[in-house]
Amino acid sequence: KKKARESCSLPEPSWEERLANAVTPLWRLPYQEQLQVKYESQRKILQTLASRLEELGIDAQKPGGLCCPLQPVVPSPIINGYRNKSTFSVNRGPDGNPKTVGLYVGTGRERNIVCVKANHVENIPSKHKQVAQCYEEFIGHSPLDSCILFHEGGHWRELVVRTTSCGHTMAIVTFHPQELGQEALATQKALLKEFFTCGPGAVCALTSLYFQESTMTRCSHEQSPYQLLHGAPHIFEELLGLKFRISPDAFFQVNTAGAEVLYQAVGELCQATGDTVLLDICCGTGTIGLSLAHRVSKVIGVEVVEKAIEDAEWNAAFNGISNCEFHTGKAEAVLPQLLASWEDARPLVAVVNPSRAGLHYRVVRAIRSCRSIRRLLYISCKPEGEAMRNFLELCCPPDPRKKLAGEPFAPMLAIPFDLFPHTVHCELVLLFTR
């Protein structure tokens, strides 16, 4: 029996396979099958939403037990190497090298993290892999250790690579200063710059090289400024005939070709007319609002990242778009003030594209209380997460205890867009009306 089990047992997957399974779990499936898997997962989400709405006393059951019709998943125009942004970690590799640059297999909770090179991962473009390989070469020759656990010392940390269809490449190196003085830091920055401009790293032809000293897991520009060591302060992308400026920490959809398809569909779903005002919540660098500005009378964008708003304003000016205004700050602080005094008679359509944390309840409250908003498009890359809470808050009967006033919305249509081939994720666009 033992021999039979041994003969039937599969060989242990290689580290490369383990990484591919972790970050691109659908990589073995033909693309049409991947789309079908995603369709089924989105169908289950809409069934869950219908059940949750039923629990609130809302008759939301449509054919198939869904809360609204679900269209087929819209495929990505590019299937391999589509990512325009990759984040590489520095940690121990399968061979024990503590300066391996790659992606994680395992979890911190299980204490079994291994950093595996991503040379074979299908959704990462070759340029990103090239920069990661060069960074690994650089830190491999550095006398300074990698920073695996902050309290144990070490300095070299993660690498972010951003690229555009214009051929631009931005690299951002994160570095833990520990106890180093300014002179020692200046030396490391000079060495890094020299490597990527005159040394082996010059092959990467970086448009921009940034350096960020960070004592935290994640740092904004305001907390610790991005320091430009070489090249231009921004890279540029073209999308739907417009040119967009991108700062180191600005949000931009990770699949540019897929984003074009998504934004065109959003424009159709808005049913905007010449007198419509478009409210673009969590607007990032303004891509959605600016791409639809020619269809509406005015665009109002709200975004928490200050540098992204600077990009949005530059993007509007550069593209000759004058009917946009952008507000910096948390949506929960800006939006209630903006909508409380709203007296504009023009129709108001809202588009929200929040992070996985979803919208703050004050944002939902402000949207519901604004009678002018009759149509809302919610774009979510994780609708089964916190976005589900938002869907219920938008659709539930008025609730004085939660200060949720105003007429509830109802889900009318759902369209998934595959912006992340080989992974289980997609962007779901849910249309709500009232």
Can you say which residues are annotated as belonging to the binding site for S-adenosyl-L-methionine?
A: 253, 303, 353
User: Which DSSP helix (H) or strand (E) runs through 11?
Assistant: none
Angle at the Cα of 432 (from 83 to 256), degrees rounded to 5? 15
DSSP string, 246-270: E-TT----S-HHHHHHHHHHHHHHH
**How many other CB atoms are found less than 10 A from the CB of residue 34?**
26
Buried b or exposed e, range 86-109, using 16+ CB within 10 angstroms: bebbbbebbeeebbbbbbbbeeee
Binding-site residues sit at 253, 303, 353
- Token couple for 221: 């520009």
**Which residues are CB-neighbours of 222 under 8 A, at least 6 positions away?**
306
Residues taking part in catalysis: 381
361-369 helix and 386-395 helix, angle to the nearest 10 degrees: 30
Residue 53: both structure tokens together: 């709405």
How would you class 110 by CB atoms within 10 Å of its CB: exposed for 0-12, middle for 13-18, buried for 19 or more? exposed
